[in-house]
Amino acid sequence: MPNRYVRDQLILIALQMAQLPNLEVHDAPNGVVQQNAFSVQWLQDILDFWYHMVPFSATVKKISINSVANIDSIILPSDFILDVRNGLLVRKVPNDANSYQRRLRLPLQKFINRQVIFQGSTDVNFPLYYCIVGDDGSVLTQQQTMLLTPTPTIIAQCQLWYYQLPPPLEANHRPKFPNDYVCIEYLRIRAHEWQGLYEPGTSQKFCDSIIKNMKANNLMNEPENDEIPMDENVYLKRNSDTVDMWGWMGPR
């Protein structure tokens, strides 16, 4: 998903198209984009909105993360938006890079049921299921929390695939988004809203229509299944963490 223009080039093109001298004086006097420019904040805000509303593959990130023995939760990274479905991998053999197994993400109601099932377990346990719920309880960070069950009894080395919140754009950064035109046109419309030439919300309506078309044409390239798979939360072998793909047919 290559883009041609960096942040400041997008802003300068949009300002030239908007033809609003008072905004140009504030945002880019003598053709130099200022750090306090309205357009800088507008572009960052709309990128954050797009990433939250329509996560797509260019924003996927993989990190190493460990679960702690006898602790049933993990604090997630500050740039976490949403996990790739079943995107938690647990290493079953310490220091063996070929022993990772995927874990299943459950909705909260099913997760609580699994917690009840495993509440009396005394075995050496690795997490089998996870659920994203709540935050870390701090008003300063408010990072989301992943709950695990069964509670790991030893340190478990994990990998997590997730959709990442975009980092703050610098002057020479290219936004990760499928099309420069959308960013430029949004800034132009937003500038006319600021000037009072367009009704409030016009730029948001533009974004909503563009996003729908881009998603319909697969430009967002979401890394999810393109077919409806069997529900792995239902057709699962009891007392095992391996999926029985044919369990719905009954005993073999």
Q: pLDDT tens digit string along 55-96? A: 777 788 999 998 888 899 999 999 999 898 899 999 988 788
Task: Kindly list the domain boundaries of the chain, sorted by start residue.
Answer: 7-54+178-216, 59-165
What order of strands is seen across the sheet that includes strand 144-149? 73-75, 144-149, 129-135, 104-105
Q: Which one is predicted more confidently, 239 or 3? A: 3
Degrees, nearest 5: CA angle 202-207-210 = 125
Burial (CB count within 10 angstroms: exposed 0-12, middle 13-18, buried 19+), residue 76: buried
Long-range contacts of 11-14 (CB under 8 A, 24+ apart): 11/37, 11/39, 11/40, 11/43, 11/187, 13/184, 14/39, 14/183, 14/184, 14/185, 14/187, 14/188, 14/191
Query: Residue 44: what pLDDT?
Result: 94
Query: Residue 239: what pLDDT?
Result: 47
Lowest mean pLDDT of 32-46, 124-138, 216-230, name the range: 216-230
CB 129 within 8 A of CB 147: no
Residue 223 has pLDDT above 60, yes or no: no
Average pLDDT over residues 220-227: 59
Residue 211 has pLDDT above 70, yes or no: yes
Residue 237 has pLDDT above 70, yes or no: no
Read off the pLDDT band of 137 (50, 70, 90). Answer: confident
DSSP letters spanning the chain: ---S--HHHHHHHHHHHHT-HHHHHHH-GGG---TT-HHHHHHHHHHHHHHHHS--GGGEEEEEEEEPTT--EEEPPTTEEEEEEEEEEEESSTT-TT-EEE-EE--HHHHHHHHHHHTT--S-----EEEEEEE-S-TTT--EEEEEESPPSS-EEEEEEEEEPPPPPPTTPPP-SS-HHHHHHHHHHHHHHHHTSS-TTHHHHHHHHHHHHHHHTT-S---S-SS----TTTSB-TT-SSB-TTGGG---
CB 47 within 8 A of CB 58: no
Read off the pLDDT band of 27 (50, 70, 90). Answer: very high
Distance of CA 68 to CAs 29, 85, 152, 172, 186, Å?
Answer: 53, 22, 7, 40, 45
Tokens of 6: 């960096």
Q: pLDDT tens digit string along 139-152? A: 777 888 999 999 88
Give one word for 160, left, alpha or beta, with left for phi > 0 and alpha for psi -120 to 50. Answer: beta
Query: Residue 10: what pLDDT?
Result: 96
Q: Which one is predicted more confidently, 139 or 15? A: 15
